[in-house]
Chain A
């Protein structure tokens, strides 16, 4: 890697603590040595080109094509070739889209295929070798652009405000982040990397969820997720949003690794930009949808201030006596009601009954991890000491607003804050519209309100792109619809990260920040200690050739369960991976298809799907020798039965 990339990743040359993390977050450490550059090459052969071309800079006859090239990967490509590709593809794309009065989406060459996005004068192309399913390439390009907009808002504006080098570094970062990391299967489904839940005590997952819920006691916190060594432990956000948050997380990890005092980086925040549909989706948490069905239109003012939490325990209590207490507030009302910042004290004081009733949510003042139950492992103690110092540094780190190590995107953020008035207006308009909507609910039938929210939710889910050709109608056009600035707050405890999406005012609201910090610190420490003791799964170990291979994809949560190891067996030429890739795109194309068995000379693979899941199964051994003529004793046709039987113990129920 050369150019701006080196600047960005040059600082992460310190070997990471944990090798599995190294593999998980991929790019930081890959640039380290010669042997890993081979891996980079392999990856590059899969995704060969990515570029952004701005046609508005090449208008006159005298303008050179290179003026329009905003970013080109691989950066070492000779400029002549860059110009050739950009000029030809953009030109032919323009011509075809004029003929069809619609932008080009896919452009195939004999050796490569390109996913294309055309917006205004911008032309993006992401090229992959011909064997990659085109739906995956399109999805990845959308993710890339989405990522950029998530951290930088509008592309046009970013290029007006920032130097090309800065932005190129960002494209490079996002591009590498989205490159297939551990296994080919993950690439096919473009799923989130989660921690291996089979190796982790389910109680820990519950605890993670509870930490997130506790953070939401602060009305400025919209939603969060907890990541451990680059893998998702628990998330309240949609898979797409979680994926975006993870990019920043891995970046701060690199910084934390490189900087001598990692303590500075324990807490950081950055401005991010959400689309309206993303925001709506966050605000229409399922909890509230359920509750609003039996909400009472009249609420008392005092309750608005006290009933702010959305933890499970409180929900239970709410439900038990909903008649007199009323439901909790809808989240957007909570987060945007202007009176909240004044009533900080009440924000974090849970109802007395709950603080005692819920042992998992101790009063935030207690620094002791609640679930360690006095059994302190030496590491845990060490951590606590560490945290103590961290806590102090947090407080001694200068007063006032600069308390939090803020790493907004340089000048972009500065500009933005100077423009804050305008942005604030836009955001406020949105809020006003929404709250007006909310008020109208009071008069109207509640069912309609629920319907409204579900509509928003549905459109957000539509982005998941089951369609092989996801039209970007469903997803926000970064140039047109305004994005709403939000804060991404990160709190790192070693490999564990708490990431919260918050209202921008959260940053200036010291009290809230401290509350969130303190309330979660102890629990995070405890969780980190426990997760840290789970032996990292050596790559390849679970893939020791068992009697069968399976992959189970959860389309809703975008998670994958498989017993196929990351590296050697997960190669694209692996028969199971090939069949899965083919079947997956076929499932995407044919909505009515429920199950399929396909057999080549070497392998028979069974695939089945429901609304929420796709499952693929291949049985090893047994004689595959057959004549190919229909035969009911053929072992291939017993696959569905075997899959049902075998996968039960992996928690996959195909009945």
Chain B
């Protein structure tokens, strides 16, 4: 019983995702309320009708009370979480007890992050985003929604099963020699060759990395690239996983697997919804489940409607076409969010992927558009604030600054295009209003023009980076031949390691190696928040693979404990508690968060910002709490010093004396990040 819905203020559904149970529930309700009717409307219509009162009430509350709903909980523990980003209202629902309010809110923020990565600055204009999320063309809409639904499902699966997505930090494969070799390979051979090739069509490889399932084997950034934010890297891993889902069933080469390769065990393995790029379109999966005998209200008409939606699936695009992604870069003069890149995911073998991120030739346009947008946003804020004095003057100054630049920018775009002609018109009108004698000058009347300018700029951005070039044109990309070569090179390099890597990714580090030094320790997770990386022993809970925790239920129990511990400690962290120990049943849990400077010297614990209940979730994927909030807050007292932030979670047997447990924690904390032990970079 899960659902995620994005709606505009006028209660138009911009996107939805539901699991089969929720869909069935909705259709049953609709059926019972419309028994006399002419059959059921399309699912999209019923969901829109049922949620409309909530959406409308939401905007009424915002308009008249200046407050908005954040969540509902019902007697039977259905949870609804609501969050409004600009004019888009996100609603996430859970009715099966698997997700709490925090998890739902996190899901909403992750969805927003994925939309930002997909649409970039177009998200800054609600008007454009609405059209982008809900294309008029039903075929296009079906394809887009399918893609986004796939991303959401992949994320949910990873969050529930992958420790690195639990704590939202990247996990590396711990194999120093191989790691080093691969980095060298990426740097000296792969990236160099690609960037010196004539077939790169003006693109430049900035980052190249190799993923084994969700774990990072090697990561290389070219010299003139800015560093890739953890948030973006995690989002890219989700995208790669969505394109080439690692099917645990097939590629687990554990020794026990040999006799059961048929894979028809009692356990059901997750297979994410195939993304549009997948050739086999088994996308009628949802439909099949819906038409199970349990569903009595099934009507042939619905079947038709749903079928027609499914049938609109177009042949998948050329796999060598890169995905446009919008990522943050840190330039000389600050951070620039949502700058266009091209993403190439080249599958080496099932489970192992080479990922290339390139800079596209026109990316300078995005930088300019962002600067202009920022100036207009600043001006609007000043004018809105009602201060027509010094603050307004500052906003005015920003416009004066960009005036000539914007003139040049428009000229360079060339007035032939409809979009740039519109921009020119609006800009001319803006200048008349703002600077000419007969105009309004810098006051509140200028606000609509600011808004209009922003929309026009987003439109330009959309045109440059989101619209595919016409069918006749060659798409902007590294040539397929070049991509193929990169793929082959990487395959050659890793051929001998392939099987090892697939096993290693399942058992990156294991508790066995710690048992002797840390008797009574059951599990731990250590995270370096400054680099966004984590280390944890593998937690395998499938029936067939035996870990140190035992098989099936026991391992599953401990896994559940670890998952709930993480959400508990986040709750305490949100309220300002950075040390937590809990005695829970037969276990003793510890959580520590601390700061060090660059030399590894422990810094004194300081105040931690208190967050409201409905703030963005603590983590690094959707919003980097640690660098954007915690470290900024903490660094105020440590000016000019590089502050690093670490977290350690441990699970011990409850019978171990607390003193010993704390000694273990201390040893783990100092040992794990020793450079000699884990050369992480």
Q: Which residues in A have some Cβ–Cβ distance to B below 8 Å? A: 81, 84-85, 88, 91-93, 95-112, 130, 469, 471-472, 578-579, 582, 586, 590, 592-602, 604, 625-632, 634, 636-637, 640
Measured CB to CB, the nearest residue on chain A to B662 is A632
B613 at the interface (CB under 8 A from A): yes
Q: B5: shortest Cβ distance to chain A, in Å?
A: 11
Beta-carbon contact of A597 and B605 below 8 Å: no
Measured CB to CB, the nearest residue on chain B to A85 is B65
Q: A634: shortest Cβ distance to chain B, in Å?
A: 7
B73 at the interface (CB under 8 A from A): yes
Query: Chain A residues near B72 (CB, 8 Å)?
Result: 92-93, 96, 104, 106-108
Q: A595 is contacted by which of B74, B95, B583, B607 (Cβ under 8 Å)?
A: B583
Contact with A along B610-627 (1 / 0, CB 8 A): 001110000000000000
Beta-carbon contact of B583 and A599 below 8 Å: no
Q: B608 is contacted by which of A103, A600, A625, A640 (Cβ under 8 Å)?
A: A600
Q: What CA separation (Å) do A84 and B29 show in the bound complex?
A: 28
Beta-carbon contact of A92 and B70 below 8 Å: no
Q: B98: shortest Cβ distance to chain A, in Å?
A: 15
Measured CB to CB, the nearest residue on chain B to A106 is B73
Chain B CB within 10 Å, residue with most, of A81, A84, A96, A604? A96
Q: Which residues in B have some Cβ–Cβ distance to A below 8 Å? A: 29, 50-51, 53-54, 57-58, 60-61, 64-65, 67-78, 80, 93, 95, 564, 568, 571-572, 575-585, 590, 592-595, 602-608, 612-614, 648, 658-659, 662-663, 665-666, 668-669
Beta-carbon contact of A100 and B76 below 8 Å: yes
Q: What CA separation (Å) do A604 and B577 show in the bound complex?
A: 9
Given A85-B65, A91-B57, A599-B578, 14 extra CB contacts under 8 A: A88-B61, A92-B58, A92-B72, A99-B78, A102-B75, A105-B73, A110-B67, A110-B612, A112-B67, A578-B575, A599-B579, A599-B580, A600-B578, A601-B576
Q: What CA separation (Å) do A586 and B77 show in the bound complex?
A: 17
Beta-carbon contact of A95 and B53 below 8 Å: yes
Query: Chain A residues near B53 (CB, 8 Å)?
Result: 91-92, 95
Q: What CA separation (Å) do A590 and B604 show in the bound complex?
A: 32
Query: Chain A residues near B585 (CB, 8 Å)?
Result: 592, 594
Q: A601 is contacted by which of B78, B583, B605 (Cβ under 8 Å)?
A: B605
Q: A498: shortest Cβ distance to chain B, in Å?
A: 39
Q: What CA separation (Å) do A630 and B664 show in the bound complex?
A: 9
Measured CB to CB, the nearest residue on chain A to B78 is A100
Query: Chain B residues near A601 (CB, 8 Å)?
Result: 576, 578, 605-608
15 contacts between A and B (CB under 8 A): A106-B71, A108-B613, A110-B67, A110-B70, A112-B67, A130-B612, A582-B572, A582-B577, A595-B582, A602-B607, A627-B602, A628-B602, A629-B602, A630-B668, A632-B658
Chain B CB within 10 Å, residue with most, of A469, A578, A628? A628
Query: Chain A residues near B605 (CB, 8 Å)?
Result: 601, 625-628
Q: What CA separation (Å) do A590 and B567 show in the bound complex?
A: 12
Measured CB to CB, the nearest residue on chain B to A600 is B576
Q: What CA separation (Å) do A93 and B74 show in the bound complex?
A: 9
Q: B513: shortest Cβ distance to chain A, in Å?
A: 20
Q: A105 is contacted by which of B75, B564, B582, B648 (Cβ under 8 Å)?
A: B75
Nearest first, the 8 closest Cβ-Cβ pairs linking A and B are A630-B665, A632-B662, A628-B594, A627-B602, A628-B605, A102-B76, A100-B78, A599-B579
Q: A109 is contacted by which of B70, B604, B659 (Cβ under 8 Å)?
A: B70
Beta-carbon contact of B50 and A636 below 8 Å: no
Q: Given A108-B70, A110-B68, A598-B577, does the pair A632, B659 have CB atoms closer than 8 Å? A: yes
Q: What CA separation (Å) do A106 and B71 show in the bound complex?
A: 8
Beta-carbon contact of A598 and B580 below 8 Å: yes
Beta-carbon contact of B590 and A630 below 8 Å: yes
Q: A548: shortest Cβ distance to chain B, in Å?
A: 19
Q: A111 is contacted by which of B57, B67, B572 (Cβ under 8 Å)?
A: B67
Q: B73 is contacted by which of A81, A84, A104 (Cβ under 8 Å)?
A: A104
Q: Given A98-B29, A600-B608, A625-B604, does the pair A630, B669 have CB atoms closer than 8 Å? A: yes
Beta-carbon contact of A628 and B584 below 8 Å: no
Q: Given A102-B78, A112-B67, does the pair A628, B73 have CB atoms closer than 8 Å? A: no
Measured CB to CB, the nearest residue on chain A to B100 is A589
Q: What CA separation (Å) do A582 and B572 show in the bound complex?
A: 8
Q: B242: shortest Cβ distance to chain A, in Å?
A: 29
Beta-carbon contact of B75 and A471 below 8 Å: yes
Beta-carbon contact of B74 and A105 below 8 Å: yes
Query: Chain B residues near A636 (CB, 8 Å)?
Result: 579
Beta-carbon contact of B73 and A469 below 8 Å: yes
Q: Given A469-B73, A637-B662, does the pair A590, B584 have CB atoms closer than 8 Å? A: yes
Measured CB to CB, the nearest residue on chain A to B33 is A98
Query: Chain B residues near A472 (CB, 8 Å)?
Result: 75
Q: What CA separation (Å) do A104 and B658 show in the bound complex?
A: 43
Q: A19: shortest Cβ distance to chain B, in Å?
A: 36
Beta-carbon contact of B581 and A597 below 8 Å: yes
Beta-carbon contact of A596 and B580 below 8 Å: yes
Query: Chain A residues near B61 (CB, 8 Å)?
Result: 88, 109
Measured CB to CB, the nearest residue on chain B to A100 is B78
Query: Chain B residues near A637 (CB, 8 Å)?
Result: 581, 658-659, 662
Q: Given A469-B77, A600-B577, A627-B603, does the pair A108, B614 have CB atoms closer than 8 Å? A: yes
Q: A596 is contacted by which of B60, B71, B581 (Cβ under 8 Å)?
A: B581
Measured CB to CB, the nearest residue on chain B to A598 is B577
Beta-carbon contact of A592 and B584 below 8 Å: yes
Query: Chain B residues near A97 (CB, 8 Å)?
Result: 74
Query: Chain B residues near A111 (CB, 8 Å)?
Result: 67
Q: Given A95-B54, A630-B669, does the pair A103, B584 have CB atoms closer than 8 Å? A: no
Query: Chain B residues near A578 (CB, 8 Å)?
Result: 575
Beta-carbon contact of B57 and A92 below 8 Å: yes
Q: B71: shortest Cβ distance to chain A, in Å?
A: 5
Beta-carbon contact of B612 and A100 below 8 Å: no
Q: B70: shortest Cβ distance to chain A, in Å?
A: 5
Q: What CA separation (Å) do A499 and B340 show in the bound complex?
A: 76
Q: What CA separation (Å) do A85 and B57 show in the bound complex?
A: 10
Query: Chain B residues near A95 (CB, 8 Å)?
Result: 50, 53-54, 57
Q: A56: shortest Cβ distance to chain B, in Å?
A: 19
Q: B538: shortest Cβ distance to chain A, in Å?
A: 23
Q: What CA separation (Å) do A631 and B669 show in the bound complex?
A: 10
Query: Chain A residues near B613 (CB, 8 Å)?
Result: 108, 130
Q: Given A106-B72, A108-B71, A578-B575, does the pair A630, B54 have CB atoms closer than 8 Å? A: no
Beta-carbon contact of A630 and B666 below 8 Å: yes
Beta-carbon contact of A103 and B57 below 8 Å: no
Q: What CA separation (Å) do A345 and B114 show in the bound complex?
A: 83
Measured CB to CB, the nearest residue on chain A to B68 is A110
Measured CB to CB, the nearest residue on chain B to A641 is B658
Beta-carbon contact of A628 and B69 below 8 Å: no
Query: Chain A residues near B71 (CB, 8 Å)?
Result: 106-108
Query: Chain B residues near A107 (CB, 8 Å)?
Result: 69, 71-73
Q: A602: shortest Cβ distance to chain B, in Å?
A: 8
Q: What CA separation (Å) do A628 and B596 show in the bound complex?
A: 10
Beta-carbon contact of B579 and A598 below 8 Å: yes
Beta-carbon contact of A597 and B659 below 8 Å: no
Beta-carbon contact of B583 and A596 below 8 Å: yes
Beta-carbon contact of B69 and A599 below 8 Å: no
Beta-carbon contact of B592 and A110 below 8 Å: no
Q: A597: shortest Cβ distance to chain B, in Å?
A: 5
Q: B224: shortest Cβ distance to chain A, in Å?
A: 37
Beta-carbon contact of B594 and A627 below 8 Å: yes
Measured CB to CB, the nearest residue on chain A to B568 is A586
Q: What CA separation (Å) do A225 and B659 show in the bound complex?
A: 48
Q: B503: shortest Cβ distance to chain A, in Å?
A: 32
Q: B584 is contacted by which of A85, A469, A594, A625 (Cβ under 8 Å)?
A: A594
Q: What CA separation (Å) do A63 and B75 show in the bound complex?
A: 29
Query: Chain B residues near A106 (CB, 8 Å)?
Result: 71-73
Chain B CB within 10 Å, residue with most, of A92, A93, A604, A636? A92
Q: What CA separation (Å) do A595 and B604 show in the bound complex?
A: 26
Query: Chain A residues near B603 (CB, 8 Å)?
Result: 627
Q: What CA separation (Å) do A471 and B75 show in the bound complex?
A: 6
Beta-carbon contact of B666 and A629 below 8 Å: yes
Query: Chain A residues near B93 (CB, 8 Å)?
Result: 99
